[in-house]
Amino acid sequence: MVENDDKSYGLECYPPGRSDKQGWDLAGADVGPIAMITDIPVATLEELREATPDCVPFAYNSWTRRDREFEPDPGASVLVVGDSFTEGAGVVREATFPERLQQDLKVRVFNGGRRGLDQPELGATVGPLVAATQPTLVVYAMTLNDYEQEPAWAARQEFLNDFILDRQHMGTPDWKLPAGLRWSELARLVASRRRSAAATAATLEWYRGMNGAENAAGFERTLDDIHGMRTAVRAGGGDLVVALLPLLVSLEDYPFEQLHADTVGELTQAGVDAIDLLPAFVGRDASELWVHAVDRHPNTAGHAIIAEALRGPIQERLAATRPDPGTEPEAPPAPPPGPDPGP
């Protein structure tokens, strides 16, 4: 991901083979900033398409969110908060599930997702975003890497392959071979496969233990973060629903079903509205829903599944929480100072 200094434009590029090459979300925009930050001499979108066939351009508003400028809508509206799954890493803006929901529901859906945000930082963004958008409903699109982690637990994840980005196969592999074997393609292949298998096993154990004894305090803090989000949303006159998204891995025999059940169960028992989107994905071929073989964010098809799974629950909640038609929206506050820290 390459961004300019104020993070208003960005370009996310992949090795050949990205699944979503259609469409662009900078129509009518000046591509000059992208030309400057990438040293690509382009002046039009057509030239940019030709120069970067496996790249997705991003445009951000003053809140560093992938949406037009935020201002309250006089009717019912929805604010979606989350991380890179919500922002739409690897897909064009029109394909993201918040944008699809806006088209399907015919209400304003604000995309408040920002890549790299986990708890507690993610929860801290909710109050200011609610003040800016004044939504009827806030949807927290939660992913399994959002949980707070104890330092020792966090240190166990090398992030070679966290089932979102396969960093082991991005760029130069970081495993070491004896000097006498570095010339051998076979030795490098065997080393790669062994390291990949070890990283996969370690990551499975890491996610499965996210609410176990070694990270119990981190799991409890995450529940507290969500309670704080609900408090901020209600202070703004709206309601919160947590929608737990699955990782796109082994959907035929999903390895984190228990973590989903425990998380939704704990939230529901504490009075937090929570739904599990795993059933919408079970049995599907995960690889068909990836942006790229090394980037397992949801592609266009994945975002369509999320939007379809959320449409009914959001419609039900909007029908139960219609805003007072006589209420006039207040002017939104100014965006926070300084650039977003980014990933």
- 313 and 271 belong to one structural domain: yes
Residue 172: inside a domain, yes or no? yes
244 pLDDT higher than 50: yes
pLDDT > 90: percent of the chain: 58
Residue 343: inside a domain, yes or no? no
CB contact at 8 A, 81 and 112:
yes
**Lowest-pLDDT choice from 6-15, 84-93, 189-198, 334-343:** 334-343
236 pLDDT higher than 90: yes
Residue 305: inside a domain, yes or no? yes
- 35 and 173 belong to one structural domain: no
pLDDT-derived band at 343 (thresholds 50, 70, 90) equals very low
Domain that holds residue 5: 1-59
- 127 and 269 belong to one structural domain: yes
36 pLDDT higher than 70: no
pLDDT > 70: percent of the chain: 73
DSSP label of 329? P
Q: Hey, what are 320's tokens? A: 């139960």
Name residue 77's beta-bridge partners.
108
Terminal CA-CA length for the chain: 9
Residue 333: inside a domain, yes or no? no
Global confidence as pTM: 0.82
- 74 and 55 belong to one structural domain: no
- Mean pLDDT for 259-263 is 97
Q: Specify burial of residue 283 (Cβ count, 10 A radius: 0-12, 13-18, 19+).
A: exposed
Domain of 284, CATH number, reads 3.40.50.1110
Question: What does the alpha-carbon distance between residue 323 and residue 253 come to, in Å, rounded to a whole number?
Answer: 42
φ and ψ of 81, to 5 deg: -115, 150
Residue-by-residue DSSP string for 82-127? ESHHHHTTTS-GGGSHHHHHHHHHTSEEEEEE-TT--TTHHHHTHH
- 237 and 295 belong to one structural domain: yes
Residue 342: inside a domain, yes or no? no
Helix (H) or strand (E) holding 75: none
Give the ranges where the chain is alpha helix by DSSP (H). Answer: 32-38, 45-51, 84-87, 97-105, 121-124, 126-133, 151-154, 185-208, 216-235, 257-269, 300-320
219 pLDDT higher than 80: yes
Residue 234: inside a domain, yes or no? yes
φ and ψ of 28, to 5 deg: 80, 0
Name residue 247's beta-bridge partners.
none
Q: Hey, what are 65's tokens? A: 């969110």
pLDDT digits (tens, 9 = 90+) for 62-115: 999 999 999 999 999 999 999 999 999 988 899 999 999 999 999 999 999 999
- 198 and 156 belong to one structural domain: yes
Residue type, 69: E
Other beta carbons within 10 Å of 301: 15
What is the pLDDT at residue 207? 92
**Lowest-pLDDT choice from 31-35, 202-206, 260-264, 301-305:** 31-35
CB contact at 8 A, 339 and 327:
no
Q: Hey, what are 192's tokens? A: 């790669």
Residue type, 159: F
Residue 224: inside a domain, yes or no? yes
**Comparing C-alpha atoms, which of 199, 204, 306, 304 is closest to residue 246?**
306
- 19 and 115 belong to one structural domain: no
DSSP label of 239? E
Helices (H) and strands (E) in the chain, counts: 11, 10
Helix/strand/coil for 18: coil
Helix/strand/coil for 244: strand
Helix/strand/coil for 261: helix
- 177 and 267 belong to one structural domain: yes
Residue 332: inside a domain, yes or no? no
Q: How many domains does the chain have?
A: 2
- 183 and 268 belong to one structural domain: yes
Residue type, 121: E
What is the pLDDT at residue 172? 44
CB contact at 8 A, 2 and 37:
yes
pLDDT-derived band at 146 (thresholds 50, 70, 90) equals very high
Q: Specify burial of residue 126 (Cβ count, 10 A radius: 0-12, 13-18, 19+).
A: buried
Per the prediction, the chain carries an average pLDDT of: 83
pLDDT digits (tens, 9 = 90+) for 279-330: 999 999 999 999 888 788 999 999 999 999 999 999 999 999 764 544 555 5
Contacts (Cβ under 8 Å, ≥6 apart) of 239:
136, 137, 138, 233, 273, 317, 321
- 132 and 10 belong to one structural domain: no
What is the pLDDT at residue 342? 47
Question: What does the alpha-carbon distance between residue 117 and residue 110 come to, in Å, rounded to a whole number?
Answer: 17
- 36 and 75 belong to one structural domain: no
Question: What does the alpha-carbon distance between residue 104 and residue 94 come to, in Å, rounded to a whole number?
Answer: 12
What is the pLDDT at residue 92? 86
- 27 and 114 belong to one structural domain: no
